[in-house]
Amino acid sequence: MTEETDLTPEVLRDAQERARELIRCGFREPDEIVDDLVEELDDPALTEERAELIVTPLWEERLAEQASWPETTDVDRLVEAFDALEGQGIVAAMDFTCCATCGYSEIGGEAEEDSRGFVFFHQQDTETAAAGRGLYLRYGGFATKGEPTEESVRRTAEIGREVVAALESVGLPVTWDGSPETAIQVTPLEWLNRLPE
């Protein structure tokens, strides 16, 4: 009898399901996933030790799956596009903050002196993509003090066009109506993100 069987069937099922979701995202280390499970499920019986017993075999299972993945995945292409955007003075952040509100408020802290704009997707976006529902990208231009609103809107649309061009150049399908108020969607997208080494 293993320690995780001391959990109720519901808690065990929920913990396994949530662990799989976080592992599928591909950004967190095993100990971070353990911490997330304990915090999110908030069950006194789900200790760190029990959560680790749940995470470890699921992590190993995912590592084994990776062996059959193509050499270049859609997520690899996304990384390539984001790297190219960084080289063009656009801050490109993946799995950045918990939500859009936090992302928009914190992305300026990632900027260099010569950064013109930004693109990011947050942790909820990652989970959506990992669940097979496409990826939404937030973007914008860094405004200068006293800049007219129309100039800020123009710059944001320009950054959006550069993001779309970078994604298309690596062969990712993009949906965007050209409006600076609309998120850019990458879909369909097969979310195969290799686990941290």
DSSP per-residue string spanning 4-20: GGGS-HHHHHHHHHHHH
Q: CB under 8 Å to 106, separation ≥6 — which residues?
A: 96, 97
Structure token digits, residue 43: 């069950």
Confidence at residue 147, expressed as pLDDT on a 0 to 100 scale: 76
Closest CA to 53 of 9, 28, 16: 16
Residues 5-31 have pLDDT tens digits of 589 999 999 999 999 999 999 999 999
Residues 35-44 have pLDDT tens digits of 999 999 999 9
**Per-residue confidence at 144, pLDDT binned at 50, 70, 90?**
confident
Mean pLDDT across the chain: 95
Q: What whole-number distance in Å separates Cα of residue 58 and Cα of residue 54?
A: 7
**Cis peptide bond N-terminal to 30, omega within 30:** no
What sign for the dihedral angle of Cα 173, 90, 103, 35? positive
Confidence at residue 133, expressed as pLDDT on a 0 to 100 scale: 97
Closest CA to 52 of 87, 2, 89, 93: 2
SS3 107: helix
DSSP annotation string for 33-100: HHHHHHHHH--TT--HHHHHHHHHHHHHHHHHHHTTS-SS-HHHHHHHHHHHHHHTTEEEESS-SSSH
Comparing 41-55, 144-158, 175-189, the range with the smallest average pLDDT is 144-158
Please state the domain extents for the chain: 3-66, 74-186
* pLDDT exceeds 50 at position 90: yes
Q: CB under 8 Å to 116, separation ≥6 — which residues?
A: 88, 89, 90, 141, 142, 155, 159
Structure token digits, residue 183: 């998120």
